[in-house]
Chain A
Amino acid sequence: MNIEKIEDRMVLALEGALSNSEFETLMKVINENHEYTLIWKSYQEMYQDMEDVLPETPSSEVATKFHEWLDNYQEEKVINIAQKGVKKGPIMLWRKWAGVAAIFIGVLGFWSMYQSNRQVEGTLADMSKQMERLMEQQSTSERIKAIRVNFNPEKGDLSNTMIDVLIQVLNTDQSSNVRLAAVETLAQFMDKEVVREALIKHLALEEDGGVKLTIITILGQQKNEKIKTTLENIVNDDSQEKFVIDEAHMQLIRFDQIDI
């Protein structure tokens, strides 16, 4: 073995990548040669020095600033909830949509009565209540809560109508946190083609990086050629944020373990 190879072995030994027998052979070679012994010692000490490096400490101002920011962040949230009903724009949209939904539910309700099927009637009544509850919410946190409670996948499979409602929320709600809640709930139904399609389509429209990241992570768990193409398009799209590209790239790596 030449000195270059001996050095390679030394690094592998310190990385814990050698077997016991390989390590013993290396030690034998090192101990028989003074130059190798010095090189080995220098590597050992360099590793020890790296081990001993302490984290740097920022000034206390950094912690103070962050805690102040965190306090203000919480206050902002409280103010938003307190201002319930003040914002008109998105609420008008919700009401309009709630009207359409109510008519739709009414028609479905009538049909269920016609069928004299109490079970269907009960389900639709529940749906109606759930939807009304969702539509009535005016603060972001209440709408998120409505999604979490009313669209709980543990209650069982969602009907197509309910999934449509969630997709509508995803495509129309102005709050990124509400859209995120919709994405996370829809993620429980990735076996449905309509859900996969909706998430892929929404990805092209979404402006919030956090929502995009979540959708990419969810899509990345599905082995599907269309999703792969979507992720590849993101990786090649320079207008995307760096962290979004990175996440898409990471999911692609996981996807087939070869695209680097």
Chain B
Amino acid sequence: MSLVAGGEIKKAALLFDRYHANVYSYLLRVNKNKMLAEDLTQNVFEKMIKYRNSYNGKKSFKAWLFTIVRNTNIDHHRKRKYSSLDDSYMQVESKEKDAQERLEVKEKNEKLMAALNRLPSEEKEILILSKFEKMKYSEISALMGLTESALKVKAHRSIKKLRNILVNDMRYEY
């Protein structure tokens, strides 16, 4: 990223190749809309170049990038270009995935996502960033404007709620 900030814009292609799946995954899981997630992914990387000079290397590139990702998503919903979220994402994904081989893992993924979607949006986001994107609590707390201890408490509660949804509400057998 330092090279991109220094004017080597072409290197941004490498950053895109490395991180676009993470960015897209987050946006898809949060929004449940493939088309929207793809559009916002494009916007995120355009902003990454536009604001490249604000990257000072003091936090990890991924944490800096996710500040842009999160703000892009929030700004989008403020503008409300898309009138509602598309819940059909899960069904579309299911049809595509049925044709694939690793059905057991896919089924687990889908159950997990369905349970995750039943959590309040803040708790869902905390789990997506910490468990799926493997970001540190210190990075997420800075990103979400929470103290690290407050974030850990919320993450702890979210985990318990998620298991409760899976086992007691969805009757998922472990």
Interface residues of A (CB under 8 A from B): 7-8, 11-12, 14-15, 38, 41-43, 45-46, 49-59, 61-63, 65-67, 69-70, 73-74, 77, 177, 180, 184, 209-210, 213-214, 217, 241-243, 246-247, 249-250, 253, 260
Pairwise interchain contact A243-B109, C-beta atoms closer than 8 A: no
Pairwise interchain contact A52-B54, C-beta atoms closer than 8 A: no
Complex Cα distance A63/B19, Å? 11
- Within 8 Å of chain A (Cβ to Cβ): is B80? no
Can you list 23 A-B pairs, Cβ within 8 angstroms, ordered by A?
A42-B166, A43-B159, A43-B163, A49-B112, A53-B131, A56-B24, A57-B24, A58-B20, A58-B37, A59-B38, A65-B42, A66-B16, A66-B20, A70-B49, A210-B54, A213-B54, A242-B78, A243-B68, A246-B67, A246-B71, A249-B145, A253-B142, A253-B147
- State the majority secondary structure of interface residues on B: helix
A114 to chain B, nearest CB (A): 43
Our pick among B12, B22, B105 for the contact of A55 (Cβ within 8 Å) is B22
With contacts A184-B53, A242-B78 known, is A50 near B71, CB below 8 A? Answer: no
Interface residues of B (CB under 8 A from A): 9-10, 12-13, 16-17, 20-22, 24-25, 28-29, 34, 37-38, 41-42, 45-46, 49-54, 56, 67-68, 71, 74-75, 78, 105, 108-109, 112, 127, 131-132, 142, 145-147, 150, 155-156, 159-160, 162-163, 166-167, 174
Complex Cα distance A45/B111, Å? 13
Complex Cα distance A61/B108, Å? 28
Complex Cα distance A185/B74, Å? 32
Our pick among B45, B67, B68, B147 for the contact of A66 (Cβ within 8 Å) is B45
Pairwise interchain contact A73-B159, C-beta atoms closer than 8 A: no
What is the chain B residue whose CB lies nearest that of A243? Answer: B71
Pairwise interchain contact A58-B38, C-beta atoms closer than 8 A: yes
Complex Cα distance A8/B159, Å? 10
Pairwise interchain contact A74-B9, C-beta atoms closer than 8 A: yes
Q: With contacts defined as CB atoms under 8 Å apart, how many contacts are there between chain A and chain B in the complex?
A: 134
Pairwise interchain contact A56-B112, C-beta atoms closer than 8 A: no
B20 to chain A, nearest CB (A): 7
Closest CB pairs A-B (n = 6): A243-B71, A42-B174, A213-B54, A210-B51, A50-B131, A58-B24
Complex Cα distance A63/B34, Å? 14
With contacts A52-B105, A62-B42, A67-B13 known, is A180 near B132, CB below 8 A? Answer: no
With contacts A50-B132, A69-B46 known, is A42 near B163, CB below 8 A? Answer: yes
Complex Cα distance A87/B132, Å? 49
Pairwise interchain contact B10-A49, C-beta atoms closer than 8 A: no
Pairwise interchain contact A77-B42, C-beta atoms closer than 8 A: no
Pairwise interchain contact B53-A53, C-beta atoms closer than 8 A: no
* Set of chain A residues within 8 Å of B28, measured between Cβ atoms: 56, 58
Pairwise interchain contact A242-B53, C-beta atoms closer than 8 A: no
Our pick among A49, A58, A242, A260 for the contact of B71 (Cβ within 8 Å) is A242
* Set of chain A residues within 8 Å of B174, measured between Cβ atoms: 38, 41-42, 45-46
Our pick among B38, B45, B56, B160 for the contact of A7 (Cβ within 8 Å) is B160
B45 to chain A, nearest CB (A): 6
With contacts A52-B105, A53-B109, A70-B13 known, is A260 near B22, CB below 8 A? Answer: no
* Set of chain A residues within 8 Å of B42, measured between Cβ atoms: 62, 65-66, 69
* Set of chain A residues within 8 Å of B17, measured between Cβ atoms: 63
Our pick among B71, B75, B147, B162 for the contact of A46 (Cβ within 8 Å) is B162
What is the chain A residue whose CB lies nearest that of B141? Answer: A253
B111 to chain A, nearest CB (A): 8
Pairwise interchain contact A209-B51, C-beta atoms closer than 8 A: yes
